[in-house]
Amino acid sequence: MKKSLVALALMGVFAGAYAQSSVTIYGTVDAGISKRTGTTTQVGKRDNNKLGFKGIEDLGGGLKAIFQLEIRYEPDTGTIENTSGANSRPLFQGQSRVGLQGDFGTVRLGRGLTAFQETSTAFEPWSGIPAVAGYQTDLQVAGYSSDPLSPVGNSGNRFSNAVFYNTPMIADMFQLNVTVGAKEANNGPAIIGKGIATAPQFAANSAPVTTPYSLSATAANGPFAAYAAYEKNAIETKLWSVGASFKPMNELKLMASYQKQDQGNSTLINPDTKAWILGANYTVGAGMFRLGYGQKTPDNALGNPALAKTKQASIGYDYNLSARTYLYFDASNKKAATTLNYYGLGIHHNF
């Protein structure tokens, strides 16, 4: 039979112009029971929940095409993350990127974690997951947001409309990472900043005035690893961060980081926020303990109790049922203007 002309679409669709490739479906379901100061017992989570699609195509000569699309959702309600009217996060909140990998490194376009955000998670005692007991969402970023001009509720760890570059490993030890965002508006709300309510410094749906970017460098040698990162967002808030980890023995990983946010471009008083974290991961049999302590310090805070120093101490325990599934328990005490105690237990399943 000759080729159906009209129904080229049908053909393409059902016969397949190209072979079915290596689409991998992956994800995380993490659900548990938690209790924090001032609320009833809730069904919640420790980690982000993901449903993702990714693939890699060998183009020959060491060149590869890669893509990744990652849905984020809440298992307790079945919604995508942060659903509330028009403020839902993107369907592919986790990331949506496509690019090439080769001897020159990796180049990707789209939306994803910035170089700083992607780098620093390896130096956080909860492995960078946004657990209440962990340090990623608040202390490890010193209160900073990578994406202040996106809609309220959108992720603060990502650039949209960006180019992502990672070098290959240099001298078997070093790697550099760069993320550069386009100066595109993204339907964000107004930010008063140094303006006034009727004339905000950044109007609604502002585009970045200067190009946002993020840089990080890492080094790893035997039991030692370290990073340094610098990022400037769309409203010219600056963040720098350094961290290191050390494994005195195979079962123990010690880590520390320091970060400073400078909001001088959009804040008249107290523009600087500093934070540091100490952490440890200690493996015993099928279990692993997570320990952390950290502080976050706004400058000139003495006159304003709302700007009190934040102090957080946390302990967690993972019990591995397999390489993909573990049970966990977290407990945390976080003192700021008020004190938050948190307990959580649950199950974390990768697929």
Instruction: Please give the residues from 105 up to 124 whose contact with its own copies meets the rule CB under 8 A.
Output: 106, 109-111, 113, 115, 118-119, 121-122
Binding mask 64-83 for its own copies (x = CB under 8 A): -xxxxx-x-xxxxxxxx--x
Binding mask 227-266 for its own copies (x = CB under 8 A): x---------------------------------------
d(CA 333, CA 310): 10
Which is nearest to 32 in space by CA: 334, 327, 341? 327
6 forms part of the interface with its own copies (CB under 8 A): yes
Shortest distance, position 267 Cβ to its own copies, whole Å: 26
Please say whether the dihedral angle defined by the alpha carbons of residues 281, 282, 288 and 289, taken in this order, is positive or negative.
Answer: negative
Please say which residue, 262 or 330, places its beta carbon nearer to its own copies.
Answer: 330
**Among 48, 96, 114, 157, which residue sits at the site for its own copies (rule: CB under 8 A)?**
96
**Among 63, 152, 286, 302, which residue sits at the site for its own copies (rule: CB under 8 A)?**
63
Among 13-21, 133-141, 234-242, 330-338, the segment contacting its own copies (CB under 8 A): 13-21
- CA 342: distance to chain centroid? 22
178 to 197, contacts with its own copies by CB under 8 A?
182-184, 186-187
List Cβ neighbours of 203 (8 Å cut-off, separation of 6 or more).
190
Total site size for its own copies, rule CB under 8 A: 115
Binding mask 275-314 for its own copies (x = CB under 8 A): ----------------------------------------
Q: Kindly provide the b/e burial profile for residues 137-146, where b requires at least 16 CB atoms within 10 angstroms of the residue's own CB.
A: bbbbbbbbbb
Which is nearest to 225 in space by CA: 240, 241, 243? 243
Residue pair 126/135 in contact by the 8 Å Cβ criterion: yes
Residue pair 286/267 in contact by the 8 Å Cβ criterion: no
**Among 225, 234, 239, 277, which residue sits at the site for its own copies (rule: CB under 8 A)?**
225
325 forms part of the interface with its own copies (CB under 8 A): yes
